[in-house]
Amino acid sequence: MEKIYLDNASTTCLIPEVIEVMTDVLKNTYGNPSSTHAFGRSAKVLVETARKSIAKQINAQATEIVFTSCGTEGDNWVLSAAVNDLNVTRIITTKIEHHAVLHTLEILKLKNPELEIVYLDLNQNGNINHNQLQNLLEASDKKTLVSLMHVNNEIGTVLNLKKVGELCAYNNAYFHSDTVQSVGKEIIDVQSFNIDFLVASAHKFHGPKGVGFIYLKKNTIIQPLIHGGEQEKGLRAGTEAVHQIVAMAKALEIAYQNLENYKNQISELKNYAITSLKTAFPDLKINGGEQAFYNILNIVLPVSADKTAMILFYLDMQGIAVSRGSACQSGSIKPSHVLAEILSPTDLLLPSLRISFSHFNTKSEIDYLVKALKNM
């Protein structure tokens, strides 16, 4: 049976070059980066070289990059630090953010009842209204953080980072963006976009799981996330995972070296998928619209609502991996919180699928998917 992986928004496969550098570090550079002997210094050089490489890709300074374990950790850290260390008393966001943001805000609100959380209105594709954001920023002198993800992980809605960054900078608000779905897949310039905090995770751009980074704008003073040592400028204690950090830098470097080729290839594949699915299912709807991010396609299938619970199981039995939404909540039987915000009650009952592509996918795999759906 053919095996087809179309769930790249959940995670991506490791590419050979990344496996090679990881293996080399594990074999040959096993010293602790904090040790002062030759073994430790060799490891430290690799960590700092990786930091410089990552910083270069997003037009940051190396000192502004702090390594983490994942995007969820980064979001938790930034939001908590904004309230606890930077005296933020108002956070502007949306109800379709990743749960790493939404659940953290719930906890912060419980601990800080005076914290004001404002949710922006969204259109049917999940886009914000920039005028509303501008009015909110201008209407209050509260210290504010705007927390908006760059690319929605379920429906692919794309935020105009530059526009939001300009609004925040003009109104002296902090700007935090979860860019887990876009780093490595789109050019991001933290300086020209006026970003204060950026969060990324390696396994979304063909790097290893268990490692990510945050961009922390220069001269932004926050307290350590983990106490115990002086690693990461004293901000995150604990011995660095050298092999993962080096692999992440390699994956990001390769992603940006091949960005245009990969982007064109995946965009063509997504357009082919849309055409093929619409031919098979003329009443099919696209969540987030056809202008959503180029590697994410979220669809409402015009089939009986009683097939919702079985459709992923059926496709899995056919060797096809897709999802209903975020892998972080894949065990939930509740409708996606993202789709609940943008779909009608009727459409919310119908099966929705998130198909997410990489440059490893092919048109023949799309044909196989469409055939399987038609058979069902």
What are the catalytic residues? 328
H or E element, residue 167:
helix 161-170
Per-position DSSP letters for 89-149, written without gaps between them: -EEEE-TTS-HHHHHHHHHHHHH-TT-EEEEPPB-TTS-B-HHHHHHHHHS--S-EEEE--
Q: Directed axis angle between helix 308-317 and helix 363-375, to 10°?
A: 130
Q: In DSSP terms, which residues pair with 92 in a beta bridge?
A: 118, 146
Q: Which of 177, 239, 179, 246 is nearest to 207 (CA)?
A: 246
Strands 296-300 and 352-356: antiparallel
- With H, G, I as helix, E, B as strand and everything else as coil, classify residue 305: helix
Angstrom distance (rounded) from CA 225 to CA 61: 21
Classify residue 304 by burial, with Cβ atoms within 10 Å: 0-12, 13-18, 19+.
Answer: exposed
Q: Give the list of residues 6+ apart from residue 17 with CB closer than 8 angstroms, or none.
A: 250, 254
Strand order in 352-356's β-sheet?
285-287, 296-300, 352-356
